[in-house]
């Protein structure tokens, strides 16, 4: 049902585009005397690829809400001024939590619409596919996904936030907040997200002086976390890094409580930093640590975005939501300077982006400038902790908004 | 080390009890009605949502809500059998396969639409508590689930063995034509079988709710294990499915403990294939039911 709705919405967009094109060409041939009017009415299409159905739908739906909020914010502020106040138009596509669908949907979105840029898909496994398609079609893709592979051999992919390897470093350093001699058990789901983050942890652990006593991939979507936690218990670890999406993590935390295991848990990013996590785990979530590429308390602009997002959805702005608003403003900045909806020119403008204030700079570190690999050279993650039902930034010192809560 | 092994076996047995409820439902439908119900997992999911809403709206404990989920799903099962399955029963398997598969997709997408993909969890006083002894632990929620699952399986077995309706069910599954010549109404028997199977799925849903989250895809996690258990325990054999489910739970748990955390299913499948090599009809041998 949902699907057919989406499709009709899509065909609606297409029809509107067709009418616009037809109207535009009529205007061009018939009333060539006043071209500025058709110019002022121009809209800039931004593609949004998110899984709004399927197993990853929960975060995907939140991303779409944030993408809409961001476009409204840009448009209400007057649109793209260098293009006569052109408005951003969001073209949303459901990639159905599926890599094959992601490939065909990215293709369809690019071929069916005149896109200036695309953002998506939050889940690294899907973003990898979308970024391949965008690369071939020469359409810039800006994404909050953290996989380091997105920065390899790409010219059209931009990643304004911390990379998986940086997340790993932050987690390792945070483990020393709790214990002088951290003995860490690493469990990670065997997906692109889990594997890339955990490999980062392994490579960096020796340099950071952190001992890893257990390093285990597990199949995402299990029925029971007990065997896994039994294994963690046997390893003698005092800190647990769990790189998991929401449901697995809920089961893991609940099982740790059942076992009565006294262990500091760092839930990483993904499902852990979502409002739903606290709702599902309840009080057991208090004091649990994690890392995020964005948090709603990092600066005044983030708090404004958070308030607006809360008003619309009832939840605080999670990392991908806030990050998406920042990304949309980065695109707006690039479009402003490119003064053209041409995706190649937008890509050029993105590659020279350099912001340190406003919504576009709303990232830990407060600055965005892309290196040749599309990585934000100032990007860094923020360490967070659940305190009194809220997610609070606690690490590093310059980003900390509250002290660590010891449990 | 010994403690770790014992704990792994306990963990496996406990989750195996839940696998058993799902697989017994599948095997009962297969044995009696002779169709494979691909939607069994979705009925577990429905059972979970019923328990979730009863718990959050009316404050009824998920385990207690069993008395609601089981009858509701029994009626659903009778209706599904009467209005859908009955019409496609015939010499050709294809329409039945497509029907239950379509039902699974329909229920999945309907619940996505109604409940969204969000995870919903119930907190009871025993959810995060466990019974500790000699360095081992048994979570209350799972222990209750296991005991109730075994009791329900036992009741079903006694029902099939001792009651007229149960015997009629077994007769109809052995030979439909002969059974109807003996005065058994196969439609009625099939409807009861389908209803019972779904009631078990509903029970599994209620029992899962104190320690699992409800979400539209949750049934698919369990149904894969159920299908393997059904084949491993010989198609149509209730006791076989029960034993196979418990063995699979233990194999999965030991696999995660001693082979690798992502190898639980691998061990289950190796066990499955080895069993089929030596006993092609499954653990129940040639004896069905």
Q: Is there a contact between A234 and B4 (Cβ–Cβ < 8 Å)?
A: yes
Question: Which of the four pLDDT bands, split at 50, 70 and 90, describes residue A20?
Answer: low
Interface of B with A in 16-45 (CB under 8 A): 18-19
- Mean of all residue pLDDT scores within chain A: 87
Q: Are B15 and A251 an interchain contact pair (Cβ–Cβ within 8 Å)? A: no
Q: In this predicted model, what pLDDT tens digit does every residue of B156-214 receive, in sequence order?
A: 999 999 999 999 988 887 888 888 888 888 889 999 999 999 999 999 999 999 999 99
Cβ–Cβ pairs < 8 A, chains A and B:
117
Burial bucket for residue A4 (CB in 10 Å: 0-12, 13-18, 19+): exposed
Name the least confident of A257-266, A326-335, A341-350, B64-73.
Answer: A257-266
Q: 84-143 in B: which are within 8 Å (CB) of A? A: 109-110, 112-113, 116-121, 123, 127-130, 132, 137, 139, 142
From the CB of residue A308, how many other CB atoms can be counted at a distance below 10 Å? 16
Place of tokens 């932050």: A170
Give the ipTM of the model, two decimals please.
0.81
In the structure encoding, which two tokens stand for residue A71, read together?
């476009």
Segment 200-239 of chain B within 8 Å of chain A by CB:
211-213, 215, 217, 221-222, 225
Query: What's phi and psi for A211, nearest 5 deg?
Result: -90, 130
Q: What is the mean pLDDT of residues A255-274?
A: 86
Greater pLDDT, B11 or B288: B11
Q: A1, B211: Cβ pair inside 8 Å?
A: no
Whole-number pLDDT of residue B285: 61
> Do A227 and B117 count as a contact with CB atoms less than 8 A apart?
no
- Left if phi > 0, otherwise alpha if psi is -120 to 50, otherwise beta: which for B142? alpha
Cα of A112 vs its chain's centroid, Å: 25
Q: Which of A223, A284, A288 to mutate to test the interface with B (most CBs of B within 10 A)?
A: A223
| CB within 8 Å: B256 and A187 | no
Sign of CA pseudo-dihedral B212, B135, B13, B272: positive
Give the gap in angstroms from C-alpha A43 to the nearest C-alpha of chain B.
Answer: 32
Q: Is A77 exposed, middle or buried (0-12, 13-18, 19+ CB in 10 A)?
A: exposed
Joined together, the tokens standing for residue A3 give 């699907």
Contact B264 A227 (CB under 8 A): yes
Candidates A54, A216, A247; nearest CB to B261: A216
Instruction: Give the number of other Cβ atoms within 10 Å of residue A208's Cβ.
Output: 15
pLDDT in tens, B75-89: 999 999 999 998 888
| Per-residue pLDDT at A17 | 53
Q: Is B114 left (phi over 0), alpha (psi -120 to 50) or beta?
A: alpha
Measure the CA dihedral A203/A208/A213/A215, to 10°. -30
Q: Which residue among A219, A250, A259 sits closest to B213, beta carbon to beta carbon?
A: A250
pLDDT digits (tens, 9 = 90+) for A23-59: 444 444 444 444 444 444 589 999 999 999 877 888 8
Q: Which chain A residues are closer than 8 Å to B121 by Cβ? A: 250, 279-281
Q: Tell whether A6 lies on the interface with B, counting CB pairs under 8 A.
A: no
Q: How far apart (Å, rounded) are the C-alpha atoms in residues A110 and A195?
A: 30
Tens of pLDDT, residue by residue over A56-69, are: 888 899 999 999 99
Q: What's the pLDDT tens digit per position in B218-255?
A: 998 899 899 999 999 988 888 999 999 999 999 999 99
Q: Tell me: pLDDT of A137 over 80.
A: yes
Enumerate long-range contacts of A371-374, CB under 8 Å, 24 or more apart. Answer: A373/A151, A373/A152, A373/A154, A374/A150, A374/A151, A374/A154, A374/A155, A374/A157, A374/A158, A374/A159
Residues with Cβ within 8 Å of A170's Cβ and at least 6 positions away in sequence, in order, are: A162, A291, A380, A381, A382, A383, A395, A396
Between the CA atoms of B269, B270, B274 and B280, what dihedral angle is there, to the nearest 10 degrees?
10
Q: Which of A217-221, A264-268, A319-323 has the weakest average pLDDT?
A: A217-221
Q: Which residues of A touch B14 (CB under 8 A)?
A: 224, 226
Q: Which two tokens stand for residue A327?
A: 């990304």
How confident is the model over A70-118, as pLDDT tens digits?
Answer: 999 999 999 999 999 999 999 999 999 899 999 999 999 999 999 999 9
A5-19 per-position pLDDT tens digit: 444 444 444 555 545
Of the candidates B113, B128, B261, the beta carbon closest to that of A231 is on B261
Residue B59 zone, left/alpha/beta (φ > 0; ψ -120 to 50; rest):
left
**Hey, are the CB atoms on A57 and B116 less than 8 Å from each other?**
yes
Mean pLDDT for B274-286 is 81
Instruction: Verify whether the Cβ–Cβ distance B213 to A53 is below 8 Å.
Output: no
Q: pLDDT at position A16, please?
A: 53
The one-character DSSP state at B236 is T
pLDDT of residue A111: 95
Which of A219, A224, A228 is the closest to B265 by Cβ?
A: A219
Count, residues in chain A: 407
Residues A139 and A82: beta-carbon distance below 8 Å: no
> What's the number of CA atoms in the CB half-sphere (13 Å) around residue A282?
12
Q: Is residue A214's pLDDT more than 90?
A: yes
User: Which contiguous run of DSSP H or E holds residue A323?
Assistant: helix A319-338
Please state, in angstroms and rounded to a whole number, the distance separating the CA atoms of residues B241 and B245: 6
**Owner of token pair 């079903």:** B156
Higher pLDDT, B269 or A22: B269
| Contact residues on chain A for B23, CB-CB shorter than 8 A | none
- Output the CA angle A376-A381-A383, nearest 5 degrees: 170
Mutate which of A60, A229, A258 to test chain B, going by most B C-beta atoms within 10 A? A258
Nearest Cα residue in chain B from A246: B119
Decide if B265 and A284 are in contact by the 8 Å CB cutoff.
Answer: no
Which residue from B227, B229, B170, B178 is spatially nearest to B196, judged by alpha carbons? B170
Q: How far apart are CA A289 and CA B206, in angstroms?
A: 32
Dihedral sign of CA atoms B162, B164, B166, B168 in order: positive
Mean pLDDT of A234-239: 91
Domains of chain A: 42-162+299-376 (3.40.50.2300), 164-292+383-399 (3.40.50.2300)
pLDDT (average), residues A283-308? 93
The region of weakest confidence among A364-368, B53-57, B119-123, B154-158 is B119-123
Contact A218 B217 (CB under 8 A): no
* Pairing, β A87-94 against β A289-292: unpaired
Q: Say if the Cβ atoms of B261 and A217 lie within 8 Å.
A: yes
Average of pLDDT values for A281-290?
89
Residues B5-60: tens digit of each pLDDT: 999 999 999 999 999 999 999 999 988 888 899 999 999 999 999 999 999 999 99
Q: Which of B132, B222, B260 lies at the smallest CB-CB distance from A260? A: B132
Minimal Cβ distance to A247: which of B130, B213, B265: B213
- For residue A87, the model assigns a pLDDT of 96
**Two tokens, residue A118:** 């695309």
């Amino acid at each position: 049902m949902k699907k057919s709705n989406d499709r009709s919405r899509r065909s609606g967009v297409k029809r509107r585009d067709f009418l616009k094109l037809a109207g535009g060409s009529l205007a061009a041939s018939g009333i060539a005397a006043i071209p500025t009017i058709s110019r002022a009415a121009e809209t800039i299409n931004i593609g949004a690829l998110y899984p709004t159905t399927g197993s990853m739908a929960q975060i995907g739906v939140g991303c779409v809400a944030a993408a809409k909020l961001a476009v409204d914010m840009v448009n209400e502020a007057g649109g793209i001024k260098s293009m006569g106040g052109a408005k951003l138009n969001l073209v949303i596509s459901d990639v159905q939590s599926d890599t094959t669908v992601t490939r065909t949907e990215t293709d369809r979105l690019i071929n069916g619409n005149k896109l200036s840029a695309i953002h998506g898909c939050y889940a690294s496994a899907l973003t990898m596919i979308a970024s391949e398609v965008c690369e071939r079609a020469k359409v810039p893709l800006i994404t909050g996904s953290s996989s380091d592979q997105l920065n390899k051999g790409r010219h059209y992919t931009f990643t304004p936030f911390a990379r998986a390897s940086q997340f790993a470093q932050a987690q390792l350093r945070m483990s020393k907040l709790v214990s002088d001699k951290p003995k860490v058990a690493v469990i990670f789901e065997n997906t692109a997200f889990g594997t890339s983050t955990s490999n980062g942890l392994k490579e960096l652990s020796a340099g950071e002086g952190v001992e890893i006593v257990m390093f285990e991939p597990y199949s995402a979507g299990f029925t029971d976390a007990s065997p896994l936690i039994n294994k963690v218990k046997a390893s003698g670890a005092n800190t647990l890094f769990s790189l998991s999406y929401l449901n697995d993590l809920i089961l893991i935390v609940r099982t740790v409580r059942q076992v009565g295991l006294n262990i500091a848990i760092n839930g990483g990013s993904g499902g852990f930093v979502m409002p739903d996590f606290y709702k599902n785990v309840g009080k057991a979530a208090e004091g649990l640590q994690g890392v995020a590429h964005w948090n709603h308390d990092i600066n005044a602009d983030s708090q404004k975005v958070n308030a607006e997002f809360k008003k619309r959805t009832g939840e605080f702005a999670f990392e991908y939501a806030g990050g998406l608003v920042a990304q949309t403003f980065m695109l707006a900045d690039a479009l402003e300077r490119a003064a053209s909806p041409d995706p190649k020119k937008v890509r050029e403008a993105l590659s020279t982006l350099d912001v340190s204030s406003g919504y576009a700079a709303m990232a830990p570190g407060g600055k965005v400038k892309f290196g040749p690999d599309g990585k934000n050279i100032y990007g860094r993650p923020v360490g967070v902790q659940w305190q009194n039902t809220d997610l609070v930034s606690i690490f590093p010192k310059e980003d900390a908004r509250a002290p660590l809560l010891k449990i | 080390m010994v403690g770790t092994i014992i704990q792994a076996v306990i963990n496996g047995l406990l989750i195996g009890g839940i696998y058993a409820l799902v697989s017994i439902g599948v095997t009962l439908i297969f044995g009696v009605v002779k169709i494979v119900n691909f939607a069994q997992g979705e009925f577990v999911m429905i059972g979970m949502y019923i328990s979730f809403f009863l718990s959050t709206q009316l404050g009824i404990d998920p385990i207690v809500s069993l008395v609601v989920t089981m009858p509701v799903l029994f009626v659903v099962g009778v209706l599904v059998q009467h209005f859908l399955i009955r019409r496609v029963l015939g010499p050709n398997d294809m329409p039945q396969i497509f029907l239950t598969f379509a039902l699974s997709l329909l229920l999945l997408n309907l619940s996505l639409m109604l409940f969204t993909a969000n995870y919903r969890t119930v907190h009871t006083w025993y959810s995060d508590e466990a019974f500790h002894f000699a360095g081992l632990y048994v979570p209350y929620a799972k222990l209750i689930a296991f005991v109730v699952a075994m009791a329900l399986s036992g009741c079903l077995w006694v029902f099939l063995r001792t009651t007229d309706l149960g015997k009629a069910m077994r007769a109809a599954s052995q030979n439909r034509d002969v059974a109807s010549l003996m005065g058994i109404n196969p439609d009625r028997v099939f409807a009861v079988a389908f209803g019972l199977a779904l009631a078990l799925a509903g029970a599994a849903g209620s029992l899962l709710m104190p320690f699992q989250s409800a979400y539209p895809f949750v049934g698919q996690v369990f149904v894969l294990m159920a299908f393997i258990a059904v084949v491993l325990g010989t198609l149509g054999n209730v006791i076989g499915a029960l034993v196979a489910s418990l063995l699979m739970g233990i194999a999965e748990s030991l696999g995660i403990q001693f082979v690798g955390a992502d190898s639980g299913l691998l061990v289950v499948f190796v066990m499955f294939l080895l069993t089929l090599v030596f006993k092609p009809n499954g653990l129940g041998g040639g004896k069905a039911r």
